[in-house]
Chains A and B, each alone.
Chain A
């Protein structure tokens, strides 16, 4: 036998073409373990085996608990995504590709009103239309649902009210789309139109008819869905600051803009079980919600995740149209497919919240950051979605990477009569991060120091705690800043470029998985579980519920299993589509998948490895500790000639038992404080990033062109550098859209004016800058092989980097995103008027003369660098909490050593008098305190 397995007849012995590529249908490796044409295994790839276990891979951040599981097979290597072939050849099956026999088409009847009571729905005419097989209304599904257990405020279709234009009222299923559309037009709905709310500021006011009613927890009779107050530290530190920044920011809402519109196919099979095909990021939550709404046990529902044509947070809620398809299918007895138009995608939305964010920041005489005051009012639209969490994230994710003297946050999320906002890449952290990073730039200008040095001298070290109690483990912030400074030639450009050209810096900080699973006690049930099964053929089947939404989670799982078992990645088959076969996984959100799921996969793979090595021990007589597992062969460490093939060992291990199976799980460690909301923002690890952006600003038109970006992201360990770079470049693109052109525009009448991809302006390839991705590896102690997230964090820094670069170019800060040319032009015109200039070419450009603080900061940053290196390698394991920079003892509770150090989650009566915009939500009482609320 030669040339490996033949999967197609004919062909010669060569398995590679002249151009070096693999011949289609032929494996590029020999029959596993059987010798074949390549009886010798490939040598161990020492370049990808860590130093501490005898390899050559450098480990500047020290050793890792998973080092012994490294075999040099795939981790750290540029690996093509395992589903790439399916996607580039058009064989990937997305939601609308699912074709079941006898399927019919569902369409949804949507509200033409912003806010109205549904008085009656007359479906009789539609039902009589030939070809219509089912019609459903809110009466068919009275149970409410929602992605978060605390805010279940959605229904499959309106039961009482519609809350925005496009809200679901009824649905129909017919033999084809044309008939379904006609049936939709025949459904007569009687509405009583109510006064709608479009301005989020109005959402803070008491109204007659709040959009939802939360009973005794309702805040007054306002539309406040959630309010947050958090204060940590010593507030007296912000008095008499050396520099301060006060910025009032406005951020327009943005949509995910994924390529694939929502699509779902529902089918009740011959046994009466629901089979639901949907491109879900979080199939498990959809599974739960379907069971609730349809009143069937969860085991009678099989959620089949199709390929997902982009999610970015926009496919992570359980959706009403998924319920509609299931209801229509149950009624008609036929499979029902619903595919959205792009308008419908915008109506279901769940994009980033439109926000008003006010930031006040202070620095003291040593250029330490003595305080952040953040006030965030966010527009939730018609439903809660993930908003409860977003309300916290807008504040708490600003508590790092800098050491703070004090932190004060008030947030409120209000309902308005718009499509619901929800989670979107960089969930809740993006807008505040932009404001804060621009504030730092502004303060550095007042202090006359370099903004990068200001940051470098105020960073929290590895293995520390933030002011809000988050546990920071690995931290590559410093290297990220240093690398982008170097890469961009920052020192020769910043404040030195001519008018119209600018360079700016921005940083990011994001969770790598949310610490608490929302549906259960984390101490009782894991976040992620992975099953591995190997039968006689030697192929490895991995069952996981992790949803690959294009980020490459399937590849990551295949990689870590291949790495542990030293098998070619082609031998790993990941099955992740069906809830029937996949162990529960919480889904692809909060950048949790690689961290949690790959950790679970490593555990399962290690168990399999142990079984195989034990079998080899039986056969060879050498203890597993002295055996090496490498490329389909197991051999004695000191004499590689003594060994056996992987397949021989596997068959030995399978004697009497058959297929090997193993299960691995991941649970997060206990962490976090005890204050209200302490769980929000908790994560087993955090990612850090720093970007430098260069822009050209047309001073006559206000058009901004971002030309270059140096993007450094600390992902702990790049399991697949190619995928990480893809995430960095993709994040740049997405963030650039928000900072330059993307916005959901609600016009004079409150209608969304641009629900299409021509007028919702996602940057094209022409707008893309040259992005230089820089991967920082801080080797997280708890991450799989040291890895952390790379999916969301890289989006954060691009916004402030661009805004700061625009200031460097034209000396103007625009606090209203996106920076569309009209806004920039208006700001230029205003400045020209103010300065008495006629020609924009005479605009003053900011320049920088260092104050004496600069050298102090450089010295402090150098000291901190030494400190951080020692902490990173665990040479220094002393406790470090936020506050040490201000001279406090990390071993004594701060409350005990600083008078006035507080940690509170409710405003005091004195504070009520001076709250920001969102903070005014605290002026209202909850119904239960007013004796009302039924």
Chain B
């Protein structure tokens, strides 16, 4: 595998980063952000949607805070998992990501903005050419989706991040910044259903940090991840649940790796009146995984019942 050539920019402040992004946009140049690189670099080596410019956030200071109420975009997953400063649920989720080597590099921002995955897409260039490409990376051929041919233009690649559902159930807010200024949204409004656009980030914008509500320390919960191996593997399905200690009525549930977005299931929880089995069934009904990860969708869909049940266990 040969890394395609690109120009690496290394700003040392947020402002500098935004200015670089603005000037690249202005000159019509495409670029990617890079944080830990554990998602982007493998994709680049496979020549997937490579760009001529890459802006690294690694030299920016002050964006790797880890505290109960705030985590910076460059906080390493290893530090979130082992540092003892983050919320226990977030630490638990971070400790289940990939492998220890990858966690040393991988960051919060990178994990939340993880590219969506699909076995028709996460392949070497030669391989993708043998299937005549797919619409997530069509190399100018205008080709169709390989998972569900002849559908509309929506990409159904699966979002397989571990942290997002956990932050969602803790009501995290993401703080974005870009050439047009800063803005904040709740994490569960951050993602977009199309596996190509993935989220609401606009050109030049990047995720600066996440914040958690003031009372988050009073909340507890757990995360269940389905995977074949206890290391390396992305979740084939994942369920996070959280509730305020001593108050099960506050239960929130979110899932990941079932669709092109992680999703919080407020409606399903509300409709079930606190009955965990009913929550499981409602989520089962509302989720429709497709065949693009290692395990078959029917199984993953059924497993969400088990995972949600287990995540809700006190």
Contact = CB atoms under 8 A, between A and B. Distances in A.
Interface of A: 110-113, 165-166, 177-178, 181, 341, 343, 700-701, 741, 747, 749, 751, 753-756, 758-759, 761, 763-767, 820-822, 825-826, 829
A110 B131 contact: no
Interface string B272-287: 0000000000000000
Interface centre among B294, B298, B306 (most CB of A within 10 A): B294
Contacts of B302: 825, 829
A764 B229 contact: yes
23 contacts: A110-B126, A112-B129, A165-B127, A178-B5, A343-B124, A343-B126, A701-B303, A741-B229, A749-B131, A753-B119, A754-B119, A754-B294, A756-B123, A758-B232, A761-B229, A761-B233, A763-B229, A764-B230, A820-B228, A821-B228, A825-B299, A825-B303, A826-B299
Interface centre among A165, A177, A821, A822 (most CB of B within 10 A): A822
Interface centre among B5, B126, B295 (most CB of A within 10 A): B126
Contacts of B234: 758
A700 B232 CA distance: 23
Contacts, number: 76
6 interchain residue pairs of minimum CB distance: A766-B230, A822-B299, A112-B130, A764-B231, A700-B306, A343-B124
A759 B294 contact: yes
A113 B296 CA distance: 26
Contacts of A181: 2
A822 B295 contact: yes
A873 B232 CA distance: 51
A656 B302 CA distance: 84
Interface string B125-156: 01101110000000000000010000000000
B112 interface: no
Contact of A759 (B119, B230, B296): B119
A560 to B, nearest CB: 40
Interface in B1-22: 1-2, 5
A700 B130 CA distance: 38
B311 to A, nearest CB: 13
Contacts of B123: 343, 755-756
Contacts of A825: 299, 302-303
B124 A741 contact: no
Interface in B257-314: 294-296, 298-299, 302-303, 306
A820 B226 contact: no
B151 to A, nearest CB: 15
A751 B303 contact: no
Contact of A177 (B2, B124, B230, B299): B2
B306 A701 contact: yes
B228 A165 contact: no
A341 B228 contact: no
Contact of A767 (B124, B126, B146, B229): B229
Nearest to B294: A759
Q: Label chain B's interface by main secondary structure.
A: loop
B229 A751 contact: no
Contacts of B306: 700-701
A766 B231 contact: yes
B2 A178 contact: yes
A741 B228 contact: yes
A175 to B, nearest CB: 14
A395 B202 CA distance: 62
Q: Label chain A's interface by main secondary structure.
A: loop
A112 B129 CA distance: 7
B38 to A, nearest CB: 12
A113 B129 CA distance: 10
B230 A767 contact: yes
B145 to A, nearest CB: 13
A178 B6 CA distance: 13
A764 B102 CA distance: 15
Nearest to B4: A178
A741 B2 CA distance: 29
A386 to B, nearest CB: 26
A761 B294 contact: yes
Contact of A820 (B99, B127, B230, B295): B295
A24 B276 CA distance: 64
Contact of A821 (B2, B124, B231, B299): B299
Nearest to B237: A701
Given A764-B229, A825-B299, A826-B299, A751 B131 contact: yes
Nearest to B305: A700
A766 B234 CA distance: 15
A112 to B, nearest CB: 4
Contacts of A741: 228-229
A751 B231 contact: no
A870 to B, nearest CB: 49
Contacts of B2: 177-178, 181
A451 to B, nearest CB: 29
Interface centre among B1, B5, B130, B230 (most CB of A within 10 A): B130
A755 B231 CA distance: 19
B5 to A, nearest CB: 8
B193 to A, nearest CB: 24
A829 B99 CA distance: 32
Nearest to A840: B306
Contacts of A826: 299
Contact of B127 (A751, A764, A766, A821): A751
A487 to B, nearest CB: 26
A747 B119 contact: yes
Nearest to A825: B299
B102 to A, nearest CB: 11
Contact of B228 (A110, A113, A761): A761
A181 B124 CA distance: 13
Contacts of A701: 226, 303, 306
Contacts of A767: 229-230
Contacts of A341: 1, 124
Nearest to B130: A112
A500 B228 CA distance: 18
Nearest to B126: A110
A178 B1 CA distance: 10
A741 B1 CA distance: 26
A259 to B, nearest CB: 15
Contacts of A764: 99, 229-232
Nearest to A764: B231
Given A165-B127, A701-B303, A756-B123, 11 more contacts: A110-B126, A111-B130, A112-B130, A341-B124, A751-B130, A751-B131, A753-B119, A759-B119, A761-B229, A767-B230, A825-B299
Nearest to B224: A701
A33 B96 CA distance: 59
A112 B133 CA distance: 11
A341 B124 CA distance: 9
A362 B229 CA distance: 38
Interface string B197-214: 000000000000000000
Contacts of B130: 111-113, 165-166, 751
A351 B228 CA distance: 22
A826 B303 CA distance: 11
Contacts of B5: 178
Contacts of A113: 130
Contacts of B226: 701, 821
A276 to B, nearest CB: 24
A110 B234 CA distance: 30
A101 to B, nearest CB: 22
B127 A755 contact: yes
Contacts of B230: 764, 766-767
B52 to A, nearest CB: 15
A343 B296 contact: no
Interface string B100-130: 0000000000000000000100011011011
A766 B229 contact: yes
A122 to B, nearest CB: 18
B156 to A, nearest CB: 15
B206 to A, nearest CB: 26
A365 to B, nearest CB: 44
